[in-house]
Structure formats: C-alpha cells, structure tokens
Homo-oligomer: A and B are copies of this chain.
Amino acid sequence: MIDILPPGHGFYQSEFEARISRAQRIMRERELDALLLTSPHNIRYVTGFETQFWESPTRPWFIVVPAEGKPVAVIPEIGAPQMAATWIDDVHAWPAPQPADDGTSLLASVLAQLPRRFGRMGAELGREMALRMPVMQFLDLREALPGLEIGDGSPCIWEARRVKSAAEIERIRFVCQLASEAYENLTNLISTGENLRDVCRKLTIDLLQRGADAVPFLPAIAGSDGVKQIVCGPQDKDLEAGDIMFIDTGTTYDGYFCDFDRNWAVGDVSDAANRANAAVWDATEAGIAAARPGVTVEDVWRAQSVVLEAAGSLGNNVGRMGHGLGMALTEPPSNMPGDNTMLEPGVVLTIEPGMEFADGRMIVHEENIVITEDGCELLTKRAPREMWRID
C-alpha cells in the first residue's frame, strides 16, 4: 500500500566513517581532543549500536570519539558481545553494575592515553542534551583527569548530526510515508464513542503492521472544538460529537523518527474551528514554501506566524513552530524568533504552526520536510485542508 520499499536495517560502514570524519573536522575547529558520549542517540549515531536496554538506568555506557581513528567503547560487559559486532574494534568492558566504581577508572585510563593537542574534551553538557550517567560520577571523572578540561561538546555534536545523509533521509521518508497512510486509514478503524486509549491501541497496531519498528510517541487528545494541550495523552476519554481529536506521532524506523500530527472532527464542529483549522493549514503551506537553503529558521517561523496572526491567533503554548528531526523526536534548531540557524540541503525540519482561536481551544498542524538544493521536499503526505471526519 506504500509506494516506497522499506530500507534495510543498519548502515554501511562508509556511513559511519563519513559521520566520524565530519565530527572530527568539527572537533578540530572547536579545539576538542575528544568527545565523550553517554546517551543513546549519540552512541548509536557513531557506532550503530542498537538496544532498548536504555530503559534500565542502572549502568552507564561510554563512547569516546578521539581526534583520529574509530570510536572507542567503554561499556558494561552485558553489552560487549553486540558492540563487538558493530564497526567498532576497541571495546573495553567491566563487570557492571559495580556501584563503587562503575566504569570510572576504566574510562579515565582510556581517556588518559589519548593524544592531547588542545587539552580539552567535549561532553554532552549543553543544549538539548543530558548526560546519561550520575552527575557525581561525572564530577569524579573530571577529578581523575587533571590537566584535561571537560567542556561542552553539545554544539559540536549537534553540528555533526544536523545535516542528514541520503541513507538517514531515506529512513525518515519511509516512516513519514508509513505513518501518513496509517493516519489516513484511521477513520476506517474507529467511530464516535471510542475511547482514546483504544484509538491509540488500534493506531499503534496498524503502524507496526505497516512496518514501523516502534511507536514511542503517540499522544491523542480530544476536546470540544479544540484541544488545550498537545503532549499528554491518551486519557480515559470517549470521542463525542463536537470534539476535535488531535493525534501526533513519533514513530520510528531503524532509529529515525517522524514527528507530525493530524486532526479529526468528530461529527460537526463549529465554523470557528473549521476556519482556524484552514488558517493553520495555510500557515503550514506558507512554512513549507519558505523553507529553502539560505533562509533562517526564524524566517520559516515568520512565514507561518503572519498567516496565523492575520487569522486572529491568540498564540499557543508550544513555544515555536517546528524544529529539527532525526534520531531524536526533536532536535535543534527551533523555528522561532532569535534562532538564526541557516538552512542547508539535508536538514530535516518539522513545520508546526498552532493557534489558540478561543480560550482553551487550540489547533496545531505538523508536516515533515527535508531541505533540498532549491527548496524542500515534503516527506509526509500532506494533510487535507479540511479535517477528516469521524462519525
């Protein structure tokens, strides 16, 4: 039913070599001798190592990206056999968990042996990142490495991840298409009276049957003539005539997310809601039209914002009108005033205008695009200008 074939899982080694080569160039520009990675997406980005075991907070994991050569793994023994099956050659493992020294001394010995040119290493200390290890252990590590400054590596990491490769875009396109078709099919599965938890269960199963790997983000919210918020749900709520149902999804394929939403009218909704919905659709259209190399994400925000203001928007609580997308559901940049990130080919963005058109009644749309040489490609199947209807 989908007109593109699923890409295979996993990447060629050349993909990882290109990633590391780019990261190492940025490290030199930023005068970093190494990067220390602890969090799932960053580790997978440079090694290809895939696991759902991140759900267990017990053991820290470390990947070191040196100034030259392949990344080095310093990880719990439980993960060593599979890490050895990636393109990484140098795998140091300890018998975790060992609360008294859960890898700290092993990691410090690996870091101490790295060549030092700048005397500085970057860790995931800054914007839109969190260290996946106890802060106290991180402070111990810093003390164990006198003469080596550990600074903020987040700008370097985000810069390395910002432009997506053809293989990455292929995965995002696939999951966007798959989720677009599942959204389209949903009116065949549900009707008025359905509980939102059951709506999500049916949609999740449909997404999995269409080839998704996982559905970690699927908030569904419904309210009379609009929604108050767009990130928490489903609750125990039955669809009633006059509701607008909003569903967003971060569905994944081979480690890459889509992130886009749809809206459904349950029976008849007010003219005001239909007008607001059309205005938000037009704002999305304006955002897509504005997105091309050489403009900033603030420009993309403005293109959407003027349409919403002309339609009488009271604002919204989302705080921006789209963002980067890739291995994470949301990545920098943010389409908002003050973010002057310049678009370039290979950047994947969400276009996400939203407006409150009456107190507590919000409508938010979202599509996913990738910037091309002369504009952008829509990765999702465009929503219709009128809401789908559930009877």
Contact = CB atoms under 8 A, between A and B. Distances in A.
B228 A334 contact: no
Given A78-B318, A231-B82, A55 B250 contact: yes
Interface of A is mostly: loop
Contact of A230 (B78, B134, B209, B219): B78
Contacts of A216: 52, 55, 216
Contacts of A213: 197
Contacts of A76: 319
A318 B77 CA distance: 7
A199 interface: no
Copies of chain A in the complex: 2
Contacts of A127: 99, 134
Contacts of A56: 328-330
A131 B131 contact: yes
A12 interface: no
A201 interface: yes
Contact of A134 (B81, B126, B257): B126
Q: Which 3 A-B pairs have the closest CB atoms?
A: A82-B232, A53-B231, A56-B330
Interface residues of A, number: 73
Nearest to A38: B130
Contacts of A77: 317, 319
Contacts of A37: none
Contact of A219 (B8, B53, B319, B334): B53
A97 B52 contact: no
Nearest to A60: B130
A129 interface: yes
A152 B140 CA distance: 13
A56 B257 CA distance: 11
B131 A96 contact: no
A51 B135 contact: no
A170 interface: no
B319 A96 contact: yes
Contacts of A125: 134-136
Contacts of A205: 205, 208-209
Contacts of A219: 51-53
Contacts of A152: 136
A181 interface: no
Interface string A44-76: 000001111101111100000000000000001
A58 B130 CA distance: 10
A132 interface: yes
Given A80-B229, A82-B228, 17 more contacts: A8-B236, A9-B197, A51-B219, A51-B231, A52-B217, A53-B231, A56-B328, A56-B329, A58-B332, A79-B231, A81-B360, A82-B232, A95-B319, A97-B320, A99-B334, A134-B154, A204-B208
A130 B134 contact: yes
A111 interface: no
B78 A317 contact: yes
Nearest to A360: B81
